[in-house]
Chains A and B, each alone.
Chain A
Amino acid sequence: MNGFLERLRNGSILVADGAMGTMLFERGLKSGECPEAINLTRPSVLEEIARLYLDAGADIIQTNTFGGSPLKLASYSLEEKALLINRNAVLAVKRAVSGRAYVSGSCGPCGKILKPYGDTDPEDILESFEIQMQAFFESGCDIICIETMMDLSEMLLALRAAKERAPGIPVMATMTFDATPKGFFTIMGDTIEKAAHSLEEAGADVIGSNCGNGIEDMIRIAEEFRKRTTLPLIIQSNAGLPIIENGRLTYPESPEFMASMAKKLVDSGVSIIGGCCGTGPAHIRAIKNAISPAGPQ
């Protein structure tokens, strides 16, 4: 599938999928296990999840590779399997969607803090991301999505790895911001203004934010991004921040609520809307219906 960037330029609004973790837990992932290990043992589960989001109306399906960079996999001693883990995830989604949606290779933080603040060399982080990007390229991802980044320096390393090892594949770059009384900042202190400029300069094709916030704060984040860039924007919001209800943890935002807010995201100039923690197929279906009432094209 191609023409992704052209569609965005022509004003199409696309819907991405929702959370992966919850879906995996419902299918036997135990807490403490490596979520990407299932790519080696039961890739059919990944196909099933991809089909659920496809049926819900998602135009973009993400792979189960958020923690698939070798540095991150090393905490489960799976770094040697990185190529296979990423490749299997991409191929599973490709089989499930067979051209009906874009396959987006998900790349999350490596879990290390860069020198001089932490103990990890930038070269090691770059090399780790290069291996993951190489796997995305060889297995035929349509898009790459670098997400939940909280350190702009790490994001730029991942972006560089993507541009070098996966030439020609559009890259979406999304960071996680905290709402503070003084505005939005990543935990490392990066502002939306700084992120927008740096990501654009580094060659990202689509930029925005995921995780960390409910959809109302995401509207404010989107508006701030829109002021700072002409690139297409992506927002993948949590279903609110988790609360306790009757002793159980839940994410408070209903599919209907998120769908009503999704229209405001479109009005703020967002081109791709998806879900993060706490969202499932029901949220994605509601968002899809809200922004394209005529149903799938």
Chain B
Amino acid sequence: MELLEQISFNLQNGLDDVVAALTKDAIEKRIPPGEILSDGLIAGMSIVGEKFKNHDIFLPDVLLAARAMNGAMEMLKPLLIKEGIPIRGKVVIGSVKDDLHDIGKNLVAILIKGAGFEVIDLGNDVPAEKFISAAKEENAHVIGMSALLTTTMPVMKKVVDLAKDEGLYGKIRIIVGGAPVSKEYALEIGADAYSYDGANAVETVESFFPVNN
């Protein structure tokens, strides 16, 4: 099996030490870091995402694959920056203010990161103002918000309103998700999209960034 295929294969099986060793090997063999990322890591993670979406695998498998991905990314990141390879896009993500649930949000962050995007995770209990200031500081392309409580959902609307006030609306895409959130609610508050689960969140983010390779 070709080296990058091996990386993809072992990443799908969540073997972080093997993925790390193979990535090191690939770097030493001077395979371009962009290729290691797209044909090895992202290729493997997209299969993981697809299987997760189809309920062929579950959260534990995704968590292990993501850990392998993150370990390899630590090695690749300096090389990607040095070569001036642009990141696929930057996503600021968080659970909204007063909402302390974060398992769903963490999963979405893992999957989006796994698809090769840079993710700035603001954690949980994030005030509306912080989503906006972080998005500005980071020059983010997407804001992703999660709420698990009906009582905290209005924070999502506040973020959209603030984005309008700050002239970001239409430039930054806003995705909302979480158990009580719906497509109708996203439409009502003026968010760009609603994602019903982690795999769908990745598809949504990807739809904002047409493939250019």
Contact = CB atoms under 8 A, between A and B. Distances in A.
Interface of A: 25, 30-32, 75, 113, 116-118, 180-182, 185-189, 241-244, 247, 249
A116 B180 contact: no
A189 B59 contact: yes
A141 B188 CA distance: 46
B27 to A, nearest CB: 26
A243 B61 CA distance: 31
Q: Which of B59, B61, B125, B149 has the most CB of A within 10 A?
A: B59
Prevailing SS type, chain A contact patch: loop
Contact of A185 (B58, B97, B185): B58
A25 B153 CA distance: 15
Nearest to A245: B184
B83 to A, nearest CB: 32
Given A25-B151, A31-B98, A116 B58 contact: no
Contact of B60 (A25, A181, A189, A244): A189
B153 A117 contact: no
A242 B151 contact: no
B55 A181 contact: yes
Given A31-B149, A117-B63, A180 B182 contact: no
A242 B58 contact: no
Contacts of A188: 58-60
Interface in B22-79: 54-55, 57-61, 63-64
Contacts of B87: none
A76 to B, nearest CB: 8
B153 A249 contact: yes
A116 B180 CA distance: 30
A188 B179 CA distance: 17
Given A181-B55, A189-B59, A32 B180 contact: no
B150 interface: yes
A244 B59 contact: no
Contacts of B149: 31
B58 A118 contact: no
B100 interface: yes
Contact of A117 (B60, B97, B100, B150): B60
Contacts of A32: 97-100, 125, 152
Nearest to B54: A182
Contact of B182 (A31, A117, A187, A243): A243
Contacts of B99: 31-32
A244 B125 contact: no
B179 A75 contact: no
Interface string B80-107: 0000000000000000011110010000
Contact of B184 (A75, A180, A189, A244): A244
Contact of B58 (A113, A189, A249): A189
Given A118-B63, A189-B58, A31 B151 contact: yes
B180 A242 contact: yes
B160 to A, nearest CB: 15
Contacts of B63: 113, 117-118
